Amino acid sequence: MFYHLFYPLSNSYPFLNIFRYITFRSFLAFLVSTIFALAVGKFFIEWMQKKQFGQVIREDGPKDHLKKAGTPTMGGVFIFGAVLFSILFFGNFHSPSLLVTLGIAISYFLLGFLDDYSKVIKNSSKGVSAKGKLLWQFLTALLGMYILIHFKVIDTKLYMPFLKGPVLDMGVFYIFFGALVIVGSSNAVNLTDGLDGLAIGPIITSAASLAVLVYATGHKEIANYLLIPYVENTGELAVLAMAIIGAGVGFLWYNAYPAQIFMGDVGSLSLGGVLGTMAVLSKSEILFSVIGGVFVMEAVSVILQVASFKMRKKRIFKMAPIHHHFELKGWPEPKVIARFWIISLVLAIMSVATLKIR
């Protein structure tokens, strides 16, 4: 809103030219979304408590988690609200990359809201069926990928870290590959959201890494210097990434151990979808497996656990996702959270460092 309102006036008022800079708007987006999340979060938690909309704990989970039953959930509502509020003020809606990313995020937000609301109303840990979720997610992601390819926002070439040029032109199959990245990211973040503050930490570090990547990819001179693909207008996603970081910081104020509110699927599905879409738009799909290494680890642990039990009737881990495995090994919950955050931070720094190694 401010960008579209003030930047056209910069010819008459030169000081308003500052709104053309992505870095300036990114800083403001971070600041506004942080303040919004902190301010709204308090009232949202009180309202959820009044309505008695609390988390339903799985009976097959760690027994220590049963004491968390009744803690307000659906914190993703005010996280996403903070992001949207900030983007409405500082986003450039002439950017196709931003519009498609927001479209996917809103779709996943609605799916997560439906899932969470269904659980709360039924007082059950079962919401939308797994098949229903995957169908919704893939249809949304495939539509988003089709739009990006059809309108030539991105090409169909696949890039690898450390290599200067593309390694493969996937053609039409890139639509399915990109959709798989987006859906995989959304579900992996959802699986990670199992301890107080566990998911939001890696979301913040991943968003920070992707902010650097999308800014570099969307800046022609920087992209040419770093020998990475240039994608026009993708730099605008840095504003969105910084808004996510700000909203995440505000949410963590209430979600830190012991949590006053949980994120819920409404937050994890939508934020995971945004991260995956930004990875596709910055042509960092392969690198994203390192950036979001904690999410990958959580998802792979579930896949291995299920596959092992079906094929061998034996479990690899005490419980999956893997954060529960460490809990059952005797690690205190805050220690699991802190160590996963450390891993996420290290992976994020390593990922950004690859930009100079081509």
113-120: long-range contacts at Cβ-Cβ below 8 A with a sequence spacing of 24 or more?
113/74, 113/77, 113/266, 115/265, 115/266, 115/269, 116/73, 116/74, 116/76, 116/264, 116/265, 116/266, 117/74, 119/56, 120/53, 120/54, 120/56, 120/73, 120/74
How far is it, in rounded angstroms, from Cα 235 to Cα 20?
A: 12
pLDDT at 115 (0 to 100): 94
Q: What are residue 173's phi and psi, to 5 degrees? A: -65, -15
pLDDT tens-digit series, residues 65-120: 656 677 899 999 999 999 999 999 999 999 999 999 999 999 999 999 999 999 88
| Mean pLDDT value across residues 1-9 | 63
DSSP β-bridge partners for residue 210? none
pLDDT of residue 194: 86
Question: How many domains would you assign to the chain?
Answer: 1
Most confident segment among 2-16, 41-55, 253-267: 253-267
Domain around 161: 2-356
CA atoms within 13 A on the CB side of 72: 21
Instruction: Give, as one character, the DSSP assignment of residue 72.
Output: B
**Integer Cα distance of 148 and 96 in angstroms:** 8
pLDDT band with cut points at 50, 70 and 90 for residue 124: confident
> DSSP labels for 203-232?
HHHHHHHHHHHHHHHT-HHHHHHHT----T
pTM for the full predicted model? 0.94
**How many Cα neighbours within 13 Å face the side chain of 339?**
10
pLDDT, tens only, 150-200: 999 999 999 999 888 899 999 999 999 999 999 999 999 999 998 999 999
pLDDT of residue 16: 65
Type of residue numbered 233: N
Output DSSP code: residue 158: E
Q: Which residues pair with 157 in a beta bridge?
A: 169
Instruction: Give the list of residues 6+ apart from residue 357 with CB closer than 8 angstroms, or none.
Output: 161, 162
Confidence of residue 2 (pLDDT cuts 50, 70, 90): low
HEC string for 251-300: HHHHHCCCCCCCCCHHHHHHHHHHHHHHHHHCCCHHHHHHHCHHHHHHHH
Give, to the nearest 10 degrees, the angle between helix 173-192 and helix 265-281. Answer: 140
